[in-house]
Amino acid sequence: MAFALTNMRVESPAFTDQGEIPARHTGEGEDLSPALSWHDAPEGTKGFAVICHDPDAPLVEHGGYGFVHWVLYNLPGSTTSLEEATSEGTRGVNHFGRNGYGGPMPPEGHGVHQYYFWVLALDKPTALPEGITMAELLKQVEPHLLGMNRLVGTYRRD
């Protein structure tokens, strides 16, 4: 089912789908990952991964585009939510060059950017090492992907 949207629902108490991400979750604020929750994962889900990606960022690199803000994986299948500033899971490297979450910080005057918070449901648990990139994660989990869905938040810097 590689990279197909499912009926899984992804939500956050911090913002609604297509809603503005609060400053506390951005590089201009406290830079805390937002709380997320999901339900209706595909049957047989044994693990999860989370990615936050800004496709509106003016960055093209190694055949990919946009800016990666968060890569989180090795989440067990029993996980249905993440607290704000979560310490759960294993952190991958973002485009800021750090492991973990790095909040929205689009170029000033660049308009509204969309931030896709993807939750990937996997048919097996993972035990991947810390510090892998989004591309490396996707290569590892693609054969085990049961489905995915996302919550989209927006942010702009004037």
Q: Is residue 48 part of a domain?
A: yes
List the structure tokens of 29: 């604020």
pLDDT in tens, 53-100: 999 887 666 566 789 999 999 999 999 999 999 999 999 999 999 999
- With a CB cutoff of 8 Å and minimum separation 6, the contacts of 119 are 8, 10, 36, 38, 48, 49, 50, 148, 149, 150
Higher per-residue pLDDT: 58 or 25? 25
Q: Considering the chain, what is the average pLDDT of its residues? A: 93
Residue with tokens 């991400």: 21
| SS3 (DSSP) at 23 | helix
pLDDT digits (tens, 9 = 90+) for 131-144: 999 999 999 999 99
DSSP 102-146: ----PPTTS--EEEEEEEEEESS---PPTT--HHHHHHHHGGGEE
Global pTM reads 0.94
CA 95 vs. chain centroid, Å, equals 13
Instruction: Specify the CATH number for the domain of residue 130.
Output: 3.90.280.10
pLDDT in tens, 93-113: 999 999 999 999 988 888 999
And the tokens for 125? 């648990």
157 or 33: which carries more pLDDT confidence? 33
What domain range includes position 13?
Answer: 9-157
Count of the separate structural domains present in the chain: 1
Question: Is position 44 within any domain?
Answer: yes
Cα–Cα distance, 58 to 6 (Å, whole number): 29
Give percent of the chain with pLDDT exceeding 70.
94
Residue 3 lies in a domain: no
Give domain status of residue 116, yes or no: yes
| CB-CB contact of 2 with 142 (8 Å) | yes
**The predicted structure's pLDDT at residue 51:** 98
How many CB atoms neighbour CB 20 within 10 A?
14
